[in-house]
Amino acid sequence: MPTDHIRYDLLTSDAMRGVLRRVLTDAAERGLPGEHHFFITFKSKADGVTISSRLLTQYPEEMTIILQHQFWDLTVTEDHFEVGLSFGGVPERLVVPFNAIKSFFDPSVQFGLQFEPTEAGEAQAEKAETEETSTSEPSTASSPTALAVPADPSQSAAAESEDKSKPGQGAEVVRLDRFRKK
C-alpha cells in the first residue's frame, strides 16, 4: 500500500473537529436552536482534560456529557471548550480539548461525528493509566462505556420526564446505544 505523505486522515479529522468547534461556538454565542442538543464523549484522562477527581473516579476512561437544557458558561477556544454542568446537584466546570473528543452526536437531526484518538491524547491516557495502576488500588469502576442511565428505553423516558419536572437537578448521562438503529 502506498504511503500517505499528505496525511489525509489527519486533515479530515481536523476538518471534522472544525465542524464541532463551529457548532459549539454558535451555541455559546446564540444558544441551542430548536430541538438541537449534543452528546459529547471524550477520554477522561487525555492531555488537557480538566474534570474533578470525583468525576474521574466515576468515569475513569471516558465520559459522555449532554449539552441541552442545564449547562452554563460555554466557552470555546481554538483547541478546547469549557462548560459548566451539574452532576448529582453538584456544579462542575469541565475543560475538554477537541483532540480528547471521541464522538459528537446531535440526536435531533441524527447527525454524528466519530473521531480517532490523537496520538498525543492516547499517549497521555496510557501514561496516566500506567501511573494509576502502579500507585493506587485497582479500579472497581465499570467498563469505559458504562454510563449513568439504564439502557431500557422505558426507564430512560421516565428518567427524562423526571429530569424535566425537577429543574436544576443536574445533567443526564445516557448510553449512546439508545440512539443507534437496531
Q: What pLDDT digit, counting tens, does each position of 103-127 carry?
A: 999 999 999 999 876 554 444 445 4
Contacts of 89 (CB under 8 A, 6+ apart): 168, 169, 170
Q: What's the pLDDT at 25? A: 97
Written as one letter, the residue type at 42 is F
Query: pTM of the entire structure?
Result: 0.65
47-86 pLDDT, tens digit per residue, is 999 999 999 999 999 999 999 989 999 999 999 999 999 9
**Total domain count, the chain:** 1
Contact by Cβ (8 Å): 42, 63? yes
The pLDDT score that the predictor gives to residue 100 is 96
Inter-residue contact 174 to 66 (CB < 8 Å): yes
The CATH number linked to 37 is: 2.30.30.220
Nearest to 118, CA basis, from 104, 102, 103, 99:
99
Beta bridge partners of 92: 85
The whole-number pLDDT of residue 181 equals: 60
Beta strand pairing call for 62-67 and 38-43: antiparallel
Give domain status of residue 168, yes or no: no
Instruction: Indicate whether 36 belongs to any domain.
Output: yes
Enumerate residues 6+ apart whose C-beta is below 8 A from 34.
108
User: DSSP assignment, residue 52?
Assistant: -
138 domain-assigned = no
Q: What's the rounded Cα separation, in Å, for the pair 147 and 175?
A: 6
Q: Is the pLDDT of residue 129 over 90?
A: no
Residue 181 lies in a domain: no
Which domain does 57 fall in, by range?
A: 8-114
Q: Which residues, at least 6 apart from 129, have a Cβ–Cβ distance to it below 8 Å?
A: 45
pLDDT band at 172 (very low <50, low <70, confident <90, very high): low
